A and B are shown apart, each in its own frame.
Chain A
């Protein structure tokens, strides 16, 4: 599974578990407006860390935090991909 598919799958899983309704997921959808709250994000990020073995937040500068779905996907894609 590609990083893109994995991120989208986990977003949908977390939303489903937390009873949240998602708009269609597009790359420019702003994360804070997609219906997930901070607890959902925290869970999403912990799952992505488990699945990818990567914690990009640990090395990111605050200004580099992803703000859209597309940026979140890029966040987890290895630099050499």
Chain B
């Protein structure tokens, strides 16, 4: 019988472990006899269930309850509207929906039940456990959604036994990066702390006393560094994933949290967890490209291709195959080798074409982030009638009062000294905050 999430929790006992958000606490031991669906639980047996709730605690409760019971769970990310949910539900052949109490189901469906907290007593547990498929939308920003099909085995494959870890994550657990932390916490010995709905980052940081392991995107971490609340915590372990970790954010975190082990992980919804880098430097050792083993990597036309048993089993809603004939998956992440080190340049699709010369926004952001006056930068394409596109940037300054036309010129000059001419921003706008997507990453729209 396949191992279900309940078995992962039981590995080290539920004890006093819990999932705590700002608004609710879920005691893991309560799941032994209770369900967020109460007596309606059995209606989901063998079904393809769209999990579409606004609140993360409710999502966590439903995931723990449905794994092994449902045939498939579609994890709808927060922020999806009813049309997006319905479209993905059709692709995932959802024949059931778990939705918010007091709200109508987001699409018409014969089997619909609300996720209710606190948990209610459930009937007898199903006799058989299914190898439930976990279906996650990939984080593509345009076009119809692609859905990646995982199981608990592929999702939890990179999680090694560990001593007591008290986890917190800035992510939503319905994103791949947050889901990793959710599964790490549940299969470990400690508890998990999550953000509340609409909770600001500094409010969340203020609730993290006693947490030992914290994960988020580099964008989350830059915001954390900007927040005075970060000074009140001293976690022994920080993890970055989901975006390129540049030297500026890594050294900023090392200075702010001198006691911490800092790792940046490379993973994607399709490819799974590929590696984590612990030496405090951006990029990863070039020799890893020739390593043989469970996970293998190679470069094809500058793009990183990976082969891993933790990858998604298949994609739903995509024409192209997930992997090539040898089982390698094209990540679309562009790599440059400098000496003994590989550096991520950015997404292949995100390249800005300046009159035929290519510029990766992420590489330019890394150069801007390294300037002393800069707290955080977002680079985007500005249409140009001459070159098709130009590089432009939004910058949050360490000292917002210093914003001036003069400083803009200085920063452009500093960028030009470090980058090829077409990559230096033509224009810089000073902003109070950068636009962050629901996935906790810098917005790549316009």
Interface residues of A (CB under 8 A from B): 17-18, 38-39, 41-43, 45-47, 50, 55, 57-58
Segment from B122-130, B162-170, B185-193, B378-386 that makes contact with A: B378-386
A42 touches which of B387, B412, B416 (Cβ 8 Å): B387
Contact A43 B426 (CB under 8 A): yes
Total number of B residues with any Cβ neighbor in A under 8 Å: 17
Chain A min CB distance to B359 (Å): 11
With contacts A17-B412, A17-B416, A57-B385 taken as known, whether A42 is within 8 angstroms of B427 at the C-beta atoms is no
Contact B413 A46 (CB under 8 A): no
With contacts A55-B385, A58-B385 taken as known, whether A46 is within 8 angstroms of B355 at the C-beta atoms is no
Which single residue of chain A is at the shortest CB-CB distance from B357? Answer: A39
CB neighbours (8 Å) of A45 from chain B are 384-386
Which single residue of chain A is at the shortest CB-CB distance from B427? Answer: A46
With contacts A17-B412, A17-B413, A18-B421 taken as known, whether A39 is within 8 angstroms of B427 at the C-beta atoms is no
Which single residue of chain B is at the shortest CB-CB distance from A41? Answer: B386
Known: A17-B413, A42-B355, A47-B427. 5 other contacts (CB 8 A): A17-B416, A18-B416, A38-B387, A41-B387, A42-B387
**Residue B390 CB within 8 A of the other chain:** yes
Contact A39 B416 (CB under 8 A): no
With contacts A39-B355, A39-B421, A39-B422 taken as known, whether A46 is within 8 angstroms of B412 at the C-beta atoms is no
- A46 to B424 Cα, complex, angstroms: 14
- A57 to B422 Cα, complex, angstroms: 21
Chain B min CB distance to A43 (Å): 4
Contact B421 A46 (CB under 8 A): no
Q: List 8 A-B contacts (CB under 8 A).
A: A17-B409, A42-B384, A42-B386, A42-B390, A42-B426, A45-B384, A46-B384, A46-B390
- A38 to B353 Cα, complex, angstroms: 13
CB neighbours (8 Å) of B355 from chain A are 38-39, 42
- A9 to B426 Cα, complex, angstroms: 16
**Residue B354 CB within 8 A of the other chain:** yes
Chain B min CB distance to A81 (Å): 22
- A38 to B421 Cα, complex, angstroms: 11
- A47 to B355 Cα, complex, angstroms: 17
- A71 to B413 Cα, complex, angstroms: 29
Contact A39 B413 (CB under 8 A): no
